[in-house]
Structure 1
Amino acid sequence: MTLTIDHPLADATGEGWVLTEIHSEVLSLSQGLSDLIGRTAAEGRRPLIVSGEHARMTEPLAEALSSTQGHWIVRTHADGFYDARSGTRLDAPAAVLSLGGRLDPARVHPAFLRATIRSRLQLVVTVSTRHRVSRPVRLGGVLDAVSEVVTQAPPTHWGALEPLLAEWDRDDLTERSRRRMPNDSRWVAVSASPRPLAATVHVSRTGQGLEETTRVVADVAGADDAASTDLAGLARRSLAAAATVGMPLIGVVLGSIGSPDLARRATASPAPEPLALLVGPPGVRALGVDAAAWTAQVGGTTVGSPRLPGVLIPLGSIDGGGWQRLDEVVAPLERERLWRLLGLSPAVARLFFEGRGTEDA
């Protein structure tokens, strides 16, 4: 393979892709990787990260890779490659770009099916919020609100790259995002509380103002802990708190089973379950539905201003039922039309259903 990009981490390139291979147990959003991913995406290519089969990837790097339609590929010790998301065998790393359609179980690599320690219940909260630039804007409010609900404290550290060294500061985040306009900004934050939390905040300028997309992954409880019985309630309280910040567009909370360090592994894991859905005032208005009548029909509650209410709808539990209920609630509203009416970019829309299953990836 011939190198055509001048970057110290680029190990190989080809038509539409740039590959880097990392021999490390932890794959994180370092300065070098962030630069490579950004430059690769700017050239219209897709980044490929190759690692060993026992590596783990931090949430901020996984999201940066997903936002640029990149892939994590695993090189096994003696049996070729596989896609870390679906487990599909690959003849070569670049073959991941031609994957599509439903997963063929016969093509799943055995290393993908090996058991790993996943003993913690997690919440994955994703909320898109709009801010009017005609008013003073202070970013990071959704992250603050969700963190207070889940951990009883704000995040502790933030920055653009890992490791995060600066203390959490919404005013600094707002000012640095403002200086980068009209370019997008993507920030990372963590909480070192007894309930670990990792989050990203994506800020972009749109025709309607500033759009802030917040994604939080938080450790909540062990499967047998008392807190596990209130996972769905915690999900609803998280969205209700997020709905008080700016103009919420849409939000969803998934419940998942993960590892204590919040990092992703290149092995199979149970699909997450939708726990709660928030449709903000712009979505309610654009869809032409009456918020009170809709909540009465689907079993939700109104949130926010009585004049411009949003809708908060409980879905399933960690034990299941959420995807079916979500389809029942959203299908009559045409999910793709909802994203379009809200003006969400495809990359942002993908965040809300990233974990549904490999057949939908």
Structure 2
Amino acid sequence: MTKDVIALTQRMPDPWTMLAGLLSGGPDNLVDTTGEGAIMRLCDSESRPLVSVEAPLLVQVAGEAERLLGATPPPVPYWWTEARATSGVEHAEHLAGTFAARLAALADGSAWPPEAARSVAVVKTDGVSVAPTPASAQPAVDVLTDKVAVVIQDRPVIAMTAWLSNALQTAASAELGLQIVTPPGTTLSPAVCDSLSNWPSRWVVRDEQDGYYDGLTGAVLRWQEGMFAPVAAAEATDDDPHTPVAASYQDVTNTSERQLAITFRTVHPADDRLVLGGALESIWRELTGEPPAGWGTAEPANLPWSPRQITDLARERAPEPTWFVVVGNPDQPGLATVRVSRTKAGVEEHITLAFGYGTQEEPPVDALPRAAELLATRHHLQSMLIQLRKARRDLAVPPHFEGPGVPLAFVLGAEEVRQMPGDRARHTPLSQQPVPLGSKARPALYYPLPGDPSDLSGWQDFERLMRHLKDV
């Protein structure tokens, strides 16, 4: 298991400051570097990593420390320096706390969690010798089997940090699942939730009553055959032969908070003049009155919103795909994940976007057709699905049941409508006919759906529509 400690500072911790923070744990610990120098590690005399420290990150986006840590950071911009302590090794957690406390003191800031920095310890080891760091010392992974990589985290929100992103990529390259183990009460960032959809990846929640359960499905889990998996049928009761659902997962408090969830795809011609991010900015402005606040290739999102920088990054990484996260103003919770890929059709953007609304806030449903028209006429929209769901305003994913969204509308881009034979796209079995968007000669089509969060029958209409459109 590992323990995360983070220093939030006004000034950039320079290498000497970082070294002073590391050596505050005692002069008998060895400093090593890995990840092409991006990660520094404090090791003991047996070359076991005690504390791994990532390069400081300049955060220029307001609200990220509050969203992900519940912490009050220095004014923007500030530096975010993250350390992971190997708690399986004696004194490692104390060393991480000592490091964060010294770093915060030297670079004008604070440490998270606060209690980690209150007890500054000097830990000594005997018999110092220089030894190579084992190749298998992976600071982000706690347990590795032939089926999964297991990451154990204790944070209020499990975010798509650089640590976790690296663990996901490493696991995928090795054809392994990633399983994240957390205590009860922890939530997931939507960016992480979207990355756990492939079996056997899971969010594993520790639970006093049932031991472990899947935070996204509620299935009671056991460690078996090298991974967490649903309990075998033999463990289920005679009355219910199916995998049991944890009681904690079913303990739900009704809320009047809602989320507007939008998934869409754009396909742009591959052109040197192409600037990515325009579609996301257009719909964000239309629904909130302002552009996104920031973006990053991991969480916290640390860079001010810039379509030009996003485009430059995607070009630099091509033909490999580029993934990034986008956040909004803290006053109006909004988060999007974007995947840019180069295909035979052109340059594709696949975007998953959500906005949160409180009890006294109304989702801007009336603005949706206008937003869809902007994407269809200016940003090469291919398709879009819009849903409304009863869920938390802050967009965090809790380890208990949340009702599914219901479809508000589906949008088919102009080129996709053109490729449909005859009038199939315009004449559907639904009671409401589609609304044309854009050019009369070559319109996109907006298909309204019931969209009542308390009535799931809207999915039946959506399935009827999909069958109709695909039956060509």
Report the TM-score, using the length of structure 1 for normalisation. Answer: 0.82
Say whether residues 1:197 and 2:331 are aligned partners.
no
| Cα pair distance change 1:319/1:115, threshold 3 Å | closer
Q: 1:73 aligns with which of 185, 204, 218?
A: 204
Q: Secondary structure at the match of 1:178?
A: helix
Instruction: Tell whether the 8 Å contact from 2:222 to 2:229 is kept in structure 1 after alignment.
Output: no
Instruction: Tell whether the 8 Å contact from 1:254 to 1:276 is kept in structure 2 after alignment.
Output: yes
| Cα pair distance change 1:325/1:163, threshold 3 Å | same
Q: Secondary structure at the match of 2:377?
A: coil
Decide which moves more: 164-173 or 104-113.
104-113
Q: Which residue of 2 aligns with 1:227?
A: 362
Deviation at 1:311, TM superposition (A): 1.3
In structure 1, list runs of 5 or more residues that go unmatched.
Answer: 339-361
Instruction: Tell whether the 8 Å contact from 1:37 to 1:68 is kept in structure 2 after alignment.
Output: no
Instruction: Tell whether the 8 Å contact from 1:124 to 1:215 is kept in structure 2 after alignment.
Output: yes
Deviations 1:192-242 (A, max 9, x none): 1532111111100001110001111101342xx3625x63x3443433332
In structure 2, list runs of 5 or more residues that go unmatched.
Answer: 1-134, 233-239
| Cα pair distance change 1:285/1:278, threshold 3 Å | same
Q: Which amino acid aligns with 2:154?
A: H
Query: Matched residues in 1 for 2:429 and 2:220: separation?
Result: 48
Say whether residues 1:13 and 2:119 are aligned partners.
no
Give runs of ≥4 in structure 1 deviating > 4 Å.
103-106, 295-298
Say whether residues 1:263 and 2:400 are aligned partners.
no
Instruction: Tell whether the 8 Å contact from 1:41 to 1:68 is kept in structure 2 after alignment.
Output: no
| Cα pair distance change 1:169/1:38, threshold 3 Å | same
Query: Matched residues in 2 for 1:8 and 1:284: separation?
Result: 50
Provide the aligned C-alpha RMSD in A: 2.9
Q: Secondary structure at the match of 1:91?
A: strand
Deviations 1:45-84 (A, max 9, x none): 1111111121001111222333787321111135311111
Q: Which amino acid aligns with 1:250?
A: S
Deviations 1:133-170 (A, max 9, x none): 14621111121111112211000111111112211011
Query: Matched residues in 1 for 2:393 and 2:357: separation?
Result: 10
| Cα pair distance change 1:118/1:234, threshold 3 Å | farther
What is the identity percentage for the equivalent residue pairs of Structure 1 and Structure 2? Answer: 25
Q: Secondary structure at the match of 2:331?
A: coil
Deviation at 1:105, TM superposition (A): 6.9
Instruction: Tell whether the 8 Å contact from 2:337 to 2:352 is kept in structure 1 after alignment.
Output: yes
Query: Matched residues in 2 for 1:104 and 1:281: separation?
Result: 49
Q: Secondary structure at the match of 1:265?
A: coil
Instruction: Tell whether the 8 Å contact from 2:417 to 2:425 is kept in structure 1 after alignment.
Output: no
Q: Which residue of 2 aligns with 1:316?
A: 450
Instruction: Tell whether the 8 Å contact from 1:302 to 1:309 is kept in structure 2 after alignment.
Output: yes
Query: Matched residues in 2 for 1:328 and 1:283: separation?
Result: 18
Query: Matched residues in 2 for 1:69 and 1:212: separation?
Result: 26
Say whether residues 1:156 and 2:290 are aligned partners.
no
Deviations 1:248-277 (A, max 9, x none): 111101101221221100101111111110
Q: Which amino acid aligns with 1:249?
A: Q
Say whether residues 1:115 and 2:249 are aligned partners.
no
Matches within 5 A, 1:31-70: 31-66=162-197, 70=201
Count of residue correspondences? 328
Matches within 5 A, 1:139-218: 139-192=276-329, 194-218=331-355
Deviations 1:161-193 (A, max 9, x none): 111221101111111111110110011111115
Query: Matched residues in 2 for 1:144 and 1:11: separation?
Result: 38
Q: Which residue of 2 aligns with 1:294?
A: 427
Instruction: Tell whether the 8 Å contact from 1:291 to 1:309 is kept in structure 2 after alignment.
Output: no
| Cα pair distance change 1:269/1:296, threshold 3 Å | closer
Q: Which residue of 2 aligns with 1:85?
A: 216
| Cα pair distance change 1:6/1:118, threshold 3 Å | farther
| Structure label with greater radius of gyration | 2
| Cα pair distance change 1:111/1:226, threshold 3 Å | closer
Query: Matched residues in 1 for 2:247 and 2:169: separation?
Result: 33
Q: Which amino acid aligns with 1:30?
A: T
Q: Which residue of 1 aligns with 2:267?
A: 130
Q: Which amino acid aligns with 1:171?
A: R
Q: Which residue of 2 aligns with 1:277?
A: 410
Q: Secondary structure at the match of 1:29?
A: coil
Q: Which amino acid aligns with 1:55?
A: T
Q: Which residue of 1 aligns with 2:115?
A: none
Instruction: Tell whether the 8 Å contact from 1:48 to 1:70 is kept in structure 2 after alignment.
Output: yes
| Cα pair distance change 1:104/1:38, threshold 3 Å | farther
Instruction: Tell whether the 8 Å contact from 2:222 to 2:231 is kept in structure 1 after alignment.
Output: no
Q: Which residue of 2 aligns with 1:355?
A: none
Q: Which amino acid aligns with 1:9?
A: A
Query: Matched residues in 1 for 2:424 and 2:274: separation?
Result: 27
Greater relative CO, 1 or 2 (CA 8 Å, sep 6+) = 1
Instruction: Tell whether the 8 Å contact from 2:357 to 2:393 is kept in structure 1 after alignment.
Output: no
Instruction: Tell whether the 8 Å contact from 2:297 to 2:324 is kept in structure 1 after alignment.
Output: yes
Q: Which amino acid aligns with 2:280?
A: L
Instruction: Tell whether the 8 Å contact from 1:27 to 1:56 is kept in structure 2 after alignment.
Output: yes
Instruction: Tell whether the 8 Å contact from 2:426 to 2:433 is kept in structure 1 after alignment.
Output: no
Deviation at 1:292, TM superposition (A): 7.0
Q: Which amino acid aligns with 1:311?
A: L
Decide which moves more: 281-290 or 178-187.
281-290
Instruction: Tell whether the 8 Å contact from 1:131 to 1:210 is kept in structure 2 after alignment.
Output: yes
Report the TM-score, using the length of structure 2 for normalisation. Answer: 0.64
Deviation at 1:7, TM superposition (A): 1.8
Decide which moves more: 21-30 or 8-17.
8-17
| Cα pair distance change 1:245/1:16, threshold 3 Å | farther
Deviation at 1:293, TM superposition (A): 3.4
